[in-house]
A and B are shown apart, each in its own frame.
Chain A
Amino acid sequence: DTAVSQTPKYLVTQMGNDKSIKCEQNLGHDTMYWYKQDSKKFLKIMFSYNNKELIINETVPNRFSPKSPDKAHLNLHINSLELGDSAVYFCASSQVGRTPGNEQFFGPGTRLTVL
């Protein structure tokens, strides 16, 4: 069973379009995250949600809007896609407070290509 899953795995789209990436975790965790990994392989946190509430937004353009319908899902909607949005997006989850710092489980990633 996949712990953290993302769909789609690949997404190719035109500049200016709006797209969504879905993430689901079956670990019972209360916190979910979105990371962006650019072409230089630098992995940077974008958002963190705890119990469906946003707790971190790391200087991400407001074209990016996370949506958490429940604790097991954190979707990422991107409006007016730009060339610079091309990257691999990773979803992750953790159980805050279980252990100090907690271990994050990552999904397989979604490779977004904007043409």
Chain B
Amino acid sequence: DAKTTQPPSMDCAEGRAANLPCNHSTISGNEYVYWYRQIHSQGPQYIIHGLKNNETNEMASLIITEDRKSSTLILPHATLRDTAVYYCIALTGNQFYFGTGTSLTVIP
């Protein structure tokens, strides 16, 4: 599985968009990019995933660069409940290998 790198922490003002970057420069053509988050003391929660095209669901948007070497998770209107650790995972097959993620703090 491709290694992903993320900034260790970020802050975002409540109500503003949170943009979380992820580098996956060694990703292969069949590896999907998945995003999960873990709110304190809870199990990880699926957010979104994509292969080549940008994706949007009720939680977030995923922007993948054309060369697929990086992606950005966008939370359009961050709330205090979005404070969590966000994990970017490049997945082949069924095994998730979580990195250290980005700790996002939404500030009132």
Answer yes or no: do A and B interact. yes
Query: Contacts A107-B43, A108-B42: A101 and B49 contacting too (C-beta < 8 A)?
Result: yes
Interface residues of A in 36-74 (CB under 8 A from B): 41-45, 48, 56
For chain B, the bracket of interface size reads 20 to 34
CB distance from B55 to the nearest CB of A (A): 12
The interface bits of chain A over 72-109 (1 if a CB of B lies within 8 angstroms of the residue's CB, else 0) are 00000000000000001010101010001111111111
Give A107 to B43 CA distance when docked, in angstroms: 6
Instruction: List 9 tightest A-B contacts by C-beta distance, closest first.
Output: A106-B43, A43-B98, A101-B32, A101-B91, A103-B46, A106-B44, A90-B43, A96-B94, A107-B43
Query: How many A-B residue contacts, CB cutoff 8 Å?
Result: 51
Q: How many A residues touch B, CB cutoff 8 Å?
A: 24
* A44 contacts across to B, CB distance below 8 A: 97-98
In contact, B43 and A109 (Cβ under 8 angstroms): yes
Chain B minimum-CB-distance residue to A58: B95
CB distance from B59 to the nearest CB of A (A): 12
Asked whether any CB of chain B lies closer than 8 Å to the CB of A25, the reply is: no
Query: Contacts A48-B94, A56-B95, A100-B51: A42 and B100 contacting too (C-beta < 8 A)?
Result: yes
Chain B minimum-CB-distance residue to A97: B94
Interface residues of B in 13-39 (CB under 8 A from A): 32, 34, 38
Tell me the B residues contacting A by CB distance below 8 Å: 32, 34, 38, 41-46, 49, 51, 85, 87, 91-98, 100
Taking A45-B95, A103-B46, A109-B42 as known contacts, 9 extra A-B pairs with beta carbons closer than 8 A to each other, sorted by chain A number, are A4-B43, A42-B100, A43-B87, A101-B92, A101-B94, A104-B44, A104-B46, A105-B46, A107-B43
Give A31 to B95 CA distance when docked, in angstroms: 11
Most buried by B among A44, A101, A102, A103: A101
Chain B minimum-CB-distance residue to A50: B94
* A104 contacts across to B, CB distance below 8 A: 44, 46, 96
* B46 contacts across to A, CB distance below 8 A: 103-105
Chain A minimum-CB-distance residue to B51: A100
Give A44 to B96 CA distance when docked, in angstroms: 9
Interface residues of A in 1-56 (CB under 8 A from B): 4, 31, 41-45, 48, 56
